[in-house]
Chain A
Amino acid sequence: MANDVWVYIEHKDGAIAPMSFELLGIGKQLADAFGSSVCAFVVGDKVDDLAKEAGAYGAAKVYAVEGDVFKGFRGEAYAKAAAFLLDKYKPEIALFRATIMGTDVAAGAAAQLGFGLCTDTIGLAVDGGKVKMTRAAFGGNYSVSVVNEKAAPQIATVRPKAFAMGEKDVSKSAEVIKESFALADADLSTKVVEFIQSATSVNLVEADIIVSGGRGLGNEQGFTVLQQLADLLGGAVGASRAAVDSEWIPYEHQVGQTGKTVKPKIYIACGISGAIQHLAGMRTSDCIVAINKDPDAPIFKAATFGIVGDYKEVVPKMIEKFKSKLGK
């Protein structure tokens, strides 16, 4: 029988966010195909609440390493503990979210175990007794599927929102297995001395709706109206490289090959021509709305809905309609 499928539970200071359990859905599907179980694994200073929640999201077992040294998030320490668990239990595959935190832990753990990993995975399927991992390559113009034959376990980081969340069922609970893994402060070479909360707290990767602007906005004031639309819809503001390079908006908003890769449910591109480098970061969005004055802009080829027009007229009109239809 195949080994279990493991899902890493990402968290900051033990805070429970639904997205932490996102991968238990696809993990369950893979485990079903193998005839094994989906299990969670978690590292932290207090893990009981996270373990309980992981059970409700479908984990059969939760493997945990707990200790004061794991207070806050320390990629280095978390990677060591994760590598220890993966080496001890050798699941079939371990899935991490392709976030900054998840990638730090996955890459560190894989290197300690001595093999490669598949990053930013958008497809997972059991094929020939192994999990085949698919990722986008070269701006999404190609997809490449890989199998890590020598690795035990295989490790993948998975693009947030690439798979549907599993259902939560509070009647379900998981068996919790706590492993002792001794790690002292002296064993670590990094220490977080301060955390400065971002004033804008842009979290493009988690956003369901993104309103994005490019060179066609003409100036930085263009982002004011985009922000209004984003606020109204509960979304975030994104930008193309051209807009960031023009210093109209900070880099943390950039979507594309040299920015963030996003997969929101709705992506509204305003004044963005749709260069390859931008499309690479957003072409897997569920619904793309393109607003551009140039009817020949390549963005229209990727768009679900295209509007040939000036964002300065279209966006305020959309805001007006949304306000009346949504009663806001």
Chain B
Amino acid sequence: MKIAVCLKQVPDTEAEIKWDIPKGTLSRDGMDSITNPFDEFALEEALLTKENYDGEIVAISMGPEGAKDVLRNALALTVDQVALCTDDAFAGSDTYSTASVLAAAIKKVGDVDVVFAGKQSTDGNTGVVGAELAAILGFSPLTQVAKVRSIDAAGKKIVVERAVEGGTEVVEAKLPAVVSVIKGINEPRLPNLMGIRKASKIDIPQWSAGDLGVDAGKVGAAGASTKVVEIAVPPPRGAGEILKGEIEEIANTITDKLIDLKVIK
């Protein structure tokens, strides 16, 4: 079975993000980067799939050169191949451009049965790249996956559980499929020292727009149909009121204030 996994490098979720508003770019100085937390679950699911069914894993990332770290971490966890889609032309991509580049990479890998991805990134937070990727590739779209029940590469069939509004949906789909996973689907493992050491020596292949056969004018800032017209700092929430006094008095005041909102029925 051929397994692909999409990994994104994001700013550390504990870091405070500073945006250079006039320039419209992130101030990356001193900012730690990590693998998107949701993608760690996708990577673990790829590793589990390989262990359970046999196969090979190709990890793909799109981003600046620094995103190599994310792929190196995947190599340390014993994925078989990696590729970094990187090109100045990719900068400023919107969700559709991102999905188009990833789709081109998956086509370049060829014969992929299942693509794992995190359900969203913690920086862009759009949560739609998985569904768009499936639509572009013509693969089965499986979003919000909480469990993979079975994968039958020979029979071209996958059965998953999706966590949806009000419950769990069991979905049977044809392969190839794009599976975007939620937190809790598994317990991501950590690389060991030997893995890290080995990974540090591996050269990471880079794929440019040309390598991928992607029209540079149709991706990145040039191709993005979504244009940023304004970046602003939202007004801070009004200074809150700290309720003081004995607990009896505080409880009395807060319950009055909340009842006054006329939300509680």
Contacts and interface: CB of A to CB of B under 8 A. Distances in A.
Interface of A: 12, 73, 75-76, 79, 99-101, 103-104, 106-108, 110-112, 114-120, 127, 132, 134, 136-151, 189-198, 201, 203, 205, 208-209, 233-234, 250-252, 254, 257-259, 265-266, 275-277, 283, 286-290, 300-309, 313-314, 317-318, 320-322, 325-326
Contact of A317 (B143, B230, B248): B248
Contacts of A194: 169-170
Given A101-B164, A116-B224, A120-B126, 16 more contacts: A100-B165, A103-B127, A103-B131, A107-B132, A119-B128, A142-B232, A146-B228, A190-B171, A192-B170, A203-B165, A257-B13, A277-B14, A283-B237, A300-B240, A305-B242, A314-B250
Contact of A79 (B13, B135, B170): B135
A12 B167 CA distance: 12
B81 to A, nearest CB: 26
Nearest to A257: B122
B90 interface: no
A111 B225 CA distance: 12
A119 B96 CA distance: 12
Contact of B254 (A250, A265, A289, A300): A289
Contact of A305 (B38, B169, B232, B243): B243
Interface string B216-259: 00000000111111111110011011110001101110111111
A325 B224 contact: no
Contacts of B259: 322, 325-326
Nearest to A145: B230
Contact of A108 (B131, B225, B230): B131
Given A116-B95, A322-B255, A111 B184 contact: no
Contact of A107 (B131, B238, B251): B131
Given A195-B168, A303-B240, A111 B135 contact: yes
Interface string B155-189: 00001000111111111111001000011100000
B12 to A, nearest CB: 10
Q: How big is the B interface, by class?
A: 35 or more
Enumerate the 4 nearest inter-chain pairs by beta-carbon distance, A residue then B residue, closest first.
A111-B135, A107-B131, A107-B128, A116-B94
Contact of B174 (A112, A189, A300): A189
A219 B142 CA distance: 35
Contact of A258 (B38, B237, B251): B38
A118 B230 CA distance: 14
Contacts of B233: 141-143
B231 A251 contact: no
Q: Could you say which of B11, B122, B250 has the most chain A C-beta atoms within 10 Å of its C-beta? A: B250
A79 B227 CA distance: 24
A106 B126 CA distance: 12
Interface string B116-132: 00000011011110011
A301 B174 CA distance: 50
Contact of A143 (B17, B232, B247): B232
Contacts of A150: 225
A322 B261 CA distance: 14
A39 to B, nearest CB: 23
B202 interface: no
A141 B19 CA distance: 9
A111 B99 contact: yes
Nearest to A233: B264
Contacts of A258: 13, 37-38, 122, 183
